[in-house]
């Protein structure tokens, strides 16, 4: 296992790691009817993390197939794929590319980057919790992570909504992003 010590953490040596789709979940939650949360995830994605000599200069990128959205309700998923939301026929992918590590404390990093949904790109801040490094039983080096962020979906042109008779709206504006995963060293 190629690791090194950095500010009290055992981290991988420099190199490129790819997301392990079998051990990564890209999820989200959003308020529904002003009273509950709907959760979902994207089933198709790829991405990589390049660990730099100076860990604060590391970078990451991810591409998500927008049509792979799954909220466990086919009618809702089809609506989310439509022009009212992701318009997957026009905008196949959702992308994120980090631009810099804005800071860190212990195992938590603040990572800034460009998130593109539909044809809108906005800077977002991710909170990345480093989970540690290891190797699987076949000797493949990996590290784990948890990522959280919150975005306003309307900032990205996802403005469809429906007013409720009781006041408020059917779909909340704030979307919480929750990613849990592992990345393996690229051979």
Q: How distant, in Å, are the alpha carbons of 27, 41, 91, 151 from that of 177? A: 6, 9, 20, 8
Structure-token pair, residue 137: 């039983």
pLDDT at residue 32 in the model: 66
Q: Does residue 66 sit in helix, strand or coil?
A: helix
Q: Give the strand pairing for 15-19 and 45-51.
A: antiparallel
pLDDT of residue 166: 66
**For residue 38, what pLDDT is reported?**
86
- Residue 174's pLDDT is what? 87
Q: How many structural domains comprise the chain?
A: 1
Which among 4, 43, 54, 53 is positioned nearest to 21, based on CA atoms? Answer: 43
- The pLDDT averaged over each successive group of 10 residues in the chain (187 residues) is 88 96 93 73 97 95 98 92 94 98 94 97 97 92 96 85 62 88 91
The C-alpha angle 104, 105, 108, rounded to 5 degrees, equals 70
> What pLDDT was estimated at residue 184?
97
CATH number where 95 lies: 2.40.128.110
Q: Domain range for residue 80?
A: 3-185
């Amino acid at each position: 296992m190629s690791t090194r010590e950095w500010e009290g953490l055992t981290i991988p040596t420099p190199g490129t790691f790819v997301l392990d789709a079998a051990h990564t979940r890209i999820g989200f939650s959003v308020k529904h009817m002003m009273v509950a949360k709907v959760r979902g995830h994207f089933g198709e994605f790829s991405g990589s993390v390049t660990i730099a000599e100076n860990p604060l200069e590391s970078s990451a990128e991810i591409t998500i197939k927008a049509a792979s959205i799954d909220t466990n309700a086919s009618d809702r998923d089809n609506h989310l794929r439509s022009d009212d939301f992701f318009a997957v026929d026009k905008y196949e992918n959702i992308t994120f590319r980090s631009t810099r590590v804005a800071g860190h404390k212990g195992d938590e990093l603040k990572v800034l980057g460009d998130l593109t949904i539909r044809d809108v790109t906005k800077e977002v801040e991710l909170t990345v919790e480093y989970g540690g490094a290891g190797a699987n039983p076949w000797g493949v080096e990996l590290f784990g992570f948890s990522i959280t962020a919150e975005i306003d979906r309307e900032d990205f042109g996802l403005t469809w909504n429906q007013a409720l008779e009781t006041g408020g709206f059917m779909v909340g504006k704030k979307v919480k992003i929750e990613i849990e995963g592992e990345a393996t060293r690229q051979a």
